[in-house]
């Protein structure tokens, strides 16, 4: 047990989880807290945050290790203030899980609303990766913290989803910039990796995949047919990879990789 504990414990670390008021990131935040970390959930929606903080506090059994900060990740001043507040809560921050993101709109190229494409691109690439990473790494370099970033990409970043332009472009760029940041930040001991989830039911895609009665939509059926495991993922199936990537002992020489967690979606062939 001690060996596993030494390898994977996040005790003494503080993790900021963006998109923490949402479905997947609150579960990953809960996993970090259960692995011993202080966890600060960041989100633009206060009501989502309040609810998830209670859930996490109960899950880890120590309400003092779970907090939240409201932030608009598209606004650099808001991110700077949220980082200062987070550092003041637990003394320092070591782990950044870039999880905020989502999609809006779906159309053939000829019908695409460019304002939607631009919004989704900014949400997933700038708010969901680049802006928080810029401010955290600047804080880490200045304070000599050997931090770890975990970006949430998507299968859409490896194989574009039909009619979903902004999201696929942004997630491809997140994987691309994970590699770039890993190289640039390696001299500072900062690790940068990503995970690429397959399909998980969450607020942003529920209506696309499930009918109100819980049955599959046509898109939901297509996803399941394309997923060799024949089901959607369970959010907690993302936790192990995130704890691994967050742990300096388990992943101290791991940087610039992307871990697919997709029920073999990318292995699909005929
Ligand atoms: N659900 C899936 O199947 C799936 C698959 C692959 C990747 N992902 C990615 O996982 C991540 C989490 O998604 P989810 O499915 O749990 O969605 P979700 O909608 O439940 O969570 C996303 C959260 O981001 C927050 N957010 C949006 N804009 C923000 C902003 N400007 N500032 C701060 N917070 C903001 C939202 O309020 C929300 O709570 C996203 O990056 C998503 O693209 C999800």
- Residue 270 CA, ligand 1 centroid: distance in Å: 32
Q: How far is the CA of 186 from the centre of ligand 1 (A)?
A: 27
Residue 204 reports pLDDT greater than 90: no
Which of 17, 24, 199, 200 to probe ligand 1 with, by most ligand atoms within 8 A of CB? 24
- In words, the CATH class of domain 2-267 is alpha beta
What would the pLDDT profile of 143-197 be if each residue is shown by its tens digit?
Answer: 999 999 999 999 999 999 999 999 999 999 999 999 999 999 999 999 999 999 9
Give the atom of ligand 1 at the shortest distance from the alpha carbon of 156: 6
Q: Which of 102, 121, 129, 194 is the best mutation target for the ligand 1 pocket, counting ligand atoms within 8 Å of the beta carbon and taking the most?
A: 102
Atom in ligand 1 nearest the alpha carbon of residue 21: 39
CA-nearest of 70, 12, 8 to 37 is 12
Q: Which residues line ligand 1 (CB under 6 A)?
A: 19, 21-25, 43-45, 48, 71-74, 99-102, 123, 127-128, 152, 154, 197, 199-200, 202-205
User: Which atom of ligand 1 has the smallest separation from the CA of 45?
Assistant: 37
Closest residue by Cα to residue 130 from 203, 180, 190, 188: 180
Asked whether residue 28 carries a pLDDT value surpassing 80, the answer given is yes
Per the CB < 8 A criterion, the answer to whether 258 and 193 are in contact is yes
Q: In what order do the strands lie in the sheet with 14-18?
A: 66-70, 38-43, 14-18, 95-98, 148-152, 191-197, 258-261
* 62 Cβ neighbours under 8 A, 6+ residues apart: 33
Cα 111–Cα 113–Cα 119 angle in degrees, nearest 5? 150
The pLDDT tens digits for 4-19 are 999 999 999 999 999 9
> Which tokens hold the place of 55?
């859930």
Residue 269 binned pLDDT confidence (cut-offs 50, 70, 90): confident
| pLDDT of 123 strictly over 70 | yes
The catalytic residues are 167
Return the residue whose CA atom lies nearest to atom 23 of ligand 1: 19
Asked if the model's pLDDT at residue 1 lies above 80, the reply is no
The mean pLDDT value of the chain amounts to 97
What pLDDT digit, counting tens, does each position of 229-254 carry? 999 999 999 999 999 999 999 999 99
* pLDDT tens for each residue of 39-97: 999 999 999 999 999 999 999 999 999 999 999 999 999 999 999 999 999 999 999 99
């Amino acid at each position: 047990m001690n060996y596993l504990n030494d390898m994977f414990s996040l005790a003494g670390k503080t993790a900021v989880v963006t998109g923490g008021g949402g479905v997947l990131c609150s579960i990953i935040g809960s996993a970090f807290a259960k692995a011993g970390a202080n966890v600060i959930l960041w989100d633009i929606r206060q009501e989502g945050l309040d609810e998830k903080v209670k859930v996490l506090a109960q899950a880890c059994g120590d309400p003092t290790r779970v907090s939240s900060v409201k932030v608009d990740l598209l606004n650099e001043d808001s991110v700077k203030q949220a980082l200062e507040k987070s550092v003041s809560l637990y003394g320092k921050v070591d782990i950044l899980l870039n999880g905020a993101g989502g999609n809006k709109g779906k159309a053939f190229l000829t019908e695409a609303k460019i304002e939607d494409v631009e919004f989704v691109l900014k949400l997933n690439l700038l708010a969901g990766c680049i802006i928080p990473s810029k401010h955290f790494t600047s804080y880490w370099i200045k304070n000599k913290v050997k931090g770890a970033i975990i970006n949430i990409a998507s299968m859409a970043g490896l194989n574009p989803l039909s009619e979903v332009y902004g999201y696929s472009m942004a997630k491809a760029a997140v994987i691309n910039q994970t590699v770039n940041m890993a190289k640039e930040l390696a001299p500072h001991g900062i690790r940068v990796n990503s995970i690429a989830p397959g399909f998980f039911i969450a607020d942003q895609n529920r209506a696309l995949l499930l009918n109100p009665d819980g049955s599959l939509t046509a898109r939901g059926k297509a996803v399941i047919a394309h997923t060799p495991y024949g089901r959607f993922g369970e959010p907690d199936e993302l936790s192990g990879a995130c704890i691994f990537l967050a742990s300096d002992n388990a992943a101290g020489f791991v940087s610039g990789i992307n871990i697919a967690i997709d029920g073999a979606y990318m292995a699909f062939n005929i």
